[in-house]
Amino acid sequence: MKCLTCKILEPFKSKGFSTFRDFDNVESLLKELSVTNQLKFDKVATYLCTACGAKWELSDPDNAYRGWLEYVSPQKQKIIELRAKLKI
């Protein structure tokens, strides 16, 4: 990760939150970073780092579905943009 904000979020990256409390802690951290203008809420569950422009996505847990916090790489962002443009 490039910047301090992203280094703060790095340990919270997950492929699934173990408990709802873990999700709640991450969500609180994202809100705190948004209030201090270190992250900008972009759209539903997407945050942009104001320092380096990195994109982070948060997925809410729902019963058996664990949710996650993920850094979206520039390559993945490009693929998403191309799919939207081509309507794939």
pLDDT for residue 15: 81
Query: Is pLDDT at 1 greater than 70 in this prediction?
Result: no
pLDDT tens digits, residue range 18-45?
888 999 999 999 999 999 999 998 877 8
Give the tokens for residue 81: 């943009």
**CA distances (Å), origin 59, targets 3, 6, 41, 63:** 23, 17, 14, 13
Angstrom distance (rounded) from CA 4 to CA 36: 13
pLDDT tens digits, residue range 35-78?
999 999 887 788 999 998 889 999 888 877 888 999 988 888 88
CB 52 within 8 A of CB 3: yes
pTM over 0.75: yes
